[in-house]
């Protein structure tokens, strides 16, 4: 039969009712049969023509696998309108849709073909329509889905699954906002849970029918759970609030919640006290204040207290002074004068009364002018200085004598002071007058000292060196020979110091006391050469076994491993150590361990812009010889690790310092490790056992680290105070496990399911506040409106169990239930709300153990049972994929299919790249790796020689 008479194709449906699953091998077989004339297929419109089949053959240059320029996206059927799915791939000889594992009929496709002008490759586009009837007729646990499949001579490529759902939006809100009356500057929480719908409804808030935009008004914040938070209530926030939910089907409005911001009245400051209203006698004085600071508003409480205060007062009446009667005249004096006096005390002037006017003393000549008198007392006023008594201030003879006496006494005191000073000076310098005639000691050297003969008797006694030591403050240098120096071997200065600890360091090794490293059995051992390590492996194993068993078993796993390898798992911590088969040298047994350090002092110190992203994990024994890399798996708390982070792997040295090992994404031939970052865990491939930790910093302030929020309260409460503890932890399994263990010992219980919060590198603090406390039953002891944890304290990750406490006081001991809401959010960021409801009576189950891993009792797996892939199949895969293939379907394509192709040069340097890739796959998917998925990857690669699919039915 001639070639022109041949018509062939792939039966995708039609009158024959035959369906075939197209694979690269089947396509190639059909091509060979077509060109050799062995088979002939009848001409039918439902089949593809010969011109549509691929034109390339294995002898042609290899053609790359198809890749999708556009993959089908999620589709929704609104009412009865069908939805369209579209895909585009290049290079592609054929492209079709498969829905729910069945091929879509060729007639239902719209296919277009063109040649890319830049690459010259064929670009094919396909689209199909999905109706509501097709979606509703599907029965099963999975939604209706479609997938695009493209062929080329190199093989097939499948797009991601696109689900098609019937869109709807229910009418009733799961939770509607409730109106509230709040005081000024109080934080307000309005909750809204939109109706169930597909796709999920988008939520927006209205304030008096105007959309709230938190970007414009920073006082509003909308959480990821669609709740509205008013950070500090203002008077302008008194309004009607509505929650609006909408999707492609409909738009729903909640009932309106009215928020009233009231202002309680406040008193102004008191005025000054008024003067007493009575000028003489008893009266009163008052002061006032007004309820205007602020005035009560929107139903706020009026001021409590009095606006006027009165105070009784007594004003003393003024009393003017008045003279008594004059006394009798005195006898006539030597100066021919007599006098008389009177007092101003009849009455005495009081309370500001006026003094008496006139003279106190009065004098007169008692000889009728027969003798002269010095008038000291005058009745009339003369232009002379007078004293207060009315007599002139001219000095008398007695005053002159007094002044002269005072001057003489002062002179005598000065003379006596000078004499005493001279005596003291001579007394002080007498002993040093001429004892030392050679002053070289004061000039800095020891010289021979000559003692005067007059004091030779002093030589019989020892010299007082303490006196000289007290007088001389400068340095003393020995200028003479050693023979002239005074021997000092018996000096107490050379006695051994008490309690002096001395550390001895060897040039080849370092011995560090274990207690200085916090009792950590993973302190570094001295490096040994390889042969010495192997010869002394038994000793090393015994030492590490003893040290490992002294650790807390909840954060340590250890076991003995030989050449067959195995797996160490620290329960419920996200930390494990995979020891591949062949990593331990043949004939050797290593006692290996892996432990999680929980002391904050052992975590690396970070800069302000850095943060600790993982726990500190040690694996050992340090310095052990490995013939292929082991894989250390550690949980981390970085979100979106591929784009927003610059992550470093750090290693702790023997003396406790931390050094940078590698920057993730910048590995090269000299780096000793390779780090595979997944969304929640990192896998460290290394041949050097030691202590590791991940440290990261934000790229462009866009990074966020995941926090795990956990709220605990007491199991039983015997006092009136009830303490609520809120932990803000790094979102790693071990951090939550540690808190659960600690709260169990403290008698605590979880009050709500732990929640995750993305904490952004925005320098904003973490704010915690409590709401809806029933004030008739409980009283919050929090003075401020909220608590805040500083940004750096959260971001650095240097504290593992970071938490704060809210204390509630019950008003009666008979109250046995507590309920409230707890809001935890980053200022200007995301937040979470906890609905707390608990009883104060002791319960049987205080900690929710469902958070624990079900396989928590498994810590060590040894030998082939530790791996999902059987050893025989692994060896076949390594032998098949390690050798380069012209079509490219070797270990490099395997790494690409498994998303492990970030740095292929690391695998290329290993003796078996496929083996290392499979080891990494084992670590990633422990403990429930799906062998069917791995078989599907090998099938897509076109590698049927490994017979891998046979093991999926056995395991």
Give the contacts of 677 (CB within 8 A, at least 6 positions apart): 636, 641, 642, 647, 664
C-alpha distances (whole Å) from 814 to each of 466, 610, 819, 841 are: 78, 50, 15, 11
Could you give the CA distance from residue 624 to residue 561 in angstroms, rounded to a whole number? 12
Q: What is the pLDDT of residue 616?
A: 94
DSSP letter for each residue of 886-905? TTSTTHHHHHHHTT--S-HH
Whose CA is closest to 230, among 176, 175, 186? 186
Residue 869 tokens read as: 């892939």
Q: How many CB atoms lie within 10 A of CB 764?
A: 16
3-state secondary structure of 49: coil
DSSP 334: T
Continuous segment of H or E residues that includes residue 874: helix 871-881
pTM: 0.53
* Residues lower than pLDDT 70 in the chain: 1-62, 140-141, 369-400, 428-553, 842-857, 943-955
| Confidence at residue 370, expressed as pLDDT on a 0 to 100 scale | 67
For 130, 203, 539, the CA distances from 590, given in Å and listed in that order, are 60, 59, 10
**Residue 777 CB neighbour total at 10 angstroms:** 15
- Do residues 612 and 695 lie in contact, with contact meaning Cβ atoms separated by under 8 Å? yes
Beta strands 162-166 and 75-77, pairing class: parallel
- Comparing CA positions, the residue from 839, 809, 834, 808 lying closest to residue 823 is 834
List phi, psi (to 5°) of 595: -140, 150
Q: Which residues pair with 112 in a beta bridge?
A: 125
- Both tokens of residue 13? 């449906």
> What distance in Å separates the CA atoms of residue 26 and residue 156, rounded to the nearest whole number?
11
Q: What is the pLDDT of residue 4?
A: 33
Query: What pLDDT does residue 458 have?
Result: 40
Query: What is the model's pLDDT at position 536?
Result: 42
Which of 10, 28, 149, 151 shows the shortest CA–CA distance to 91?
151
Check if the beta carbon of residue 912 is closer than 8 Å to that of residue 129. no
Residue 201 CB contacts under 8 Å (≥ 6 apart), including other chains: 169, 194, 195, 245, 246, 247, 252
- Res 954: pLDDT: 52
pLDDT, position 883 = 86
Find out whether 680 and 736 touch, Cβ atoms under 8 Å. no
H or E segment at 399? helix 397-429
Question: With left for phi above 0 and alpha for psi between -120 and 50, is residue 347 left, alpha or beta?
Answer: beta
């Amino acid at each position: 039969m001639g070639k022109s008479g041949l018509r062939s194709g792939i039966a995708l449906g039609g009158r024959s009712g035959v369906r075939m699953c197209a694979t690269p091998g089947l396509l190639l077989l059909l091509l060979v049969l077509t060109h050799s004339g062995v088979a002939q297929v009848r001409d039918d419109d439902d089949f593809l023509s010969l011109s549509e089949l691929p034109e390339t053959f294995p002898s042609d240059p290899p053609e790359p696998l198809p890749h999708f320029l556009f993959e089908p996206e999620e589709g929704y059927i609104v009412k009865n309108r069908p939805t369209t799915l579209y895909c585009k791939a290049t290079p592609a000889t054929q492209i079709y849709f498969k829905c729910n594992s069945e091929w879509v009929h060729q007639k239902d496709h719209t296919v277009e073909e063109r040649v890319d002008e830049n690459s010259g490759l064929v670009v094919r586009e396909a689209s199909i329509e999905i109706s509501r009837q097709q979606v509703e007729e599907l029965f099963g646990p999975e939604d209706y889905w479609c997938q695009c499949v493209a062929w080329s001579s190199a093989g097939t490529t499948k797009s991601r699954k696109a689900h098609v759902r019937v869109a709807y939006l229910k009418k009733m809100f799961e939770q509607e906002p409730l109106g509230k009356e709040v005081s000024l500057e109080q934080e307000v929480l309005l909750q809204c849970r939109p109706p169930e719908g597909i796709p999920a409804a988008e939520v927006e808030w209205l304030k008096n029918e105007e959309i709230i935009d938190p970007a414009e008004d920073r006082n509003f914040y909308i959480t990821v759970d669609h709740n509205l938070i008013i950070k500090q209530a203002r008077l302008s926030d008194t309004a009607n609030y509505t929650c609006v939910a909408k999707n492609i089907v409909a738009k729903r409005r909640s009932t309106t919640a009215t928020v009233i911001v009231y202002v309680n009245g406040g008193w102004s400051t008191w005025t000054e006290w008024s003067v007493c209203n009575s000028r003489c006698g008893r009266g009163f004085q008052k002061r006032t204040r007004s309820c205007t600071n602020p005035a009560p508003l929107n139903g706020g409480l009026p001021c409590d207290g009095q606006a006027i205060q009165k105070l009784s007062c007594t004003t003393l009446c003024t009393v003017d002074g008045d003279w008594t009667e004059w006394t009798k005249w005195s006898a006539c004096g030597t100066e021919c004068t007599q006098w008389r006096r009177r007092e101003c005390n009849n009455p005495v002037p009081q309370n500001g009364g006026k003094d008496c006017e006139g003279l106190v003393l009065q004098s007169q000549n008692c000889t009728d002018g027969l003798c002269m008198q010095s008038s000291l007392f005058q009745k009339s006023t003369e232009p002379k200085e007078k004293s207060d008594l009315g007599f002139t201030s001219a000095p008398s003879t007695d005053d002159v004598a007094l002044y002269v006496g005072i001057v003489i006494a002062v002179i005598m005191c000065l003379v006596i002071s000078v004499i005493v000073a001279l005596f003291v000076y001579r007394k002080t310098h007498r002993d040093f007058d001429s004892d030392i005639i050679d002053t070289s000691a004061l000039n800095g050297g020891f010289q021979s000292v000559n003692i005067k003969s007059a004091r030779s008797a002093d030589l019989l006694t020892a010299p007082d060196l303490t006196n000289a030591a007290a007088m001389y403050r400068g340095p003393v240098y020995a200028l003479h020979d050693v023979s002239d120096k005074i021997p000092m071997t018996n000096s107490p200065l050379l006695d051994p110091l008490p309690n002096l600890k001395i550390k001895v360091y060897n040039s080849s090794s370092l011995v560090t006391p274990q207690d200085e490293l916090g009792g950590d059995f993973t302190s570094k051992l001295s490096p040994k050469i390889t042969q010495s390590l192997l010869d002394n492996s038994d000793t090393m194993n015994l030492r590490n076994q003893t040290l490992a068993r002294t650790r807390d078993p909840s954060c340590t796993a250890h076991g003995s491993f030989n050449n067959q390898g195995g797996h160490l798992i620290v329960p419920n911590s996200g930390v494990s150590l995979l020891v591949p088969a062949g990593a331990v040298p043949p004939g050797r047994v290593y006692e290996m361990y892996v432990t999680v350090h929980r002391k904050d002092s052992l975590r690396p110190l970070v800069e302000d812009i850095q943060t600790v992203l993982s726990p500190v994990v040690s694996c050992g024994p340090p310095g052990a010889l490995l013939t292929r890399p082991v894989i250390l798996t550690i949980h981390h708390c970085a979100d979106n690790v591929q784009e927003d982070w610059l992550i470093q792997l750090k290693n702790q040295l023997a003396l406790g310092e931390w050094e940078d090992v590698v920057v993730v994404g910048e590995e090269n031939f000299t780096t000793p490790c390779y780090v595979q970052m997944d969304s929640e865990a990192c896998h460290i491939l290394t041949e050097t056992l030691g202590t590791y930790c991940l440290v990261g910093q934000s790229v462009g302030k866009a990074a966020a680290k995941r926090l795990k929020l956990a709220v605990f309260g007491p199991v039983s409460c015997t006092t009136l105070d009830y303490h609520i503890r809120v932990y803000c932890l790094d979102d790693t399994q071990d951090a939550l496990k540690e808190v659960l263990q600690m709260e169990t010992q403290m008698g605590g219980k979880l009050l709500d399911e732990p929640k995750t919060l993305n904490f952004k590198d925005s320098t904003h603090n973490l704010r915690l506040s409590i709401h809806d406390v029933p004030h008739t039953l409980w009283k919050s002891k929090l003075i401020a409106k909220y608590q805040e944890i500083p940004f750096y304290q959260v971001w650095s990750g240097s504290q593992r169990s970071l938490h704060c406490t809210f204390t509630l006081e019950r008003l009666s001991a008979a109250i046995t239930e507590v309920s409230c809401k707890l809001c935890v959010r980053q200022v200007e960021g995301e937040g979470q709300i906890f609905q707390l409801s608990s009883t104060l009576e002791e319960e049987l189950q205080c900690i929710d153990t469902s958070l624990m891993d079900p396989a928590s009792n498994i810590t060590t797996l040894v030998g082939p049972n530790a791996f999902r892939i059987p050893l025989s199949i692994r060896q076949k895969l390594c032998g098949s994929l390690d050798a380069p293939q012209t079509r490219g379907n070797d270990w490099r394509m395997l790494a690409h299919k498994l998303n492990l192709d970030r740095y292929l040069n690391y695998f290329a340097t290993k003796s078996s790249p496929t083996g290392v890739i499979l080891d990494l796959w084992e670590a990633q998917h422990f403990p429930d790796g799906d062998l069917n998925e791995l078989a599907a990857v090998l099938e897509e690669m076109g590698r049927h020689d490994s017979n891998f699919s046979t093991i999926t039915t056995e395991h």
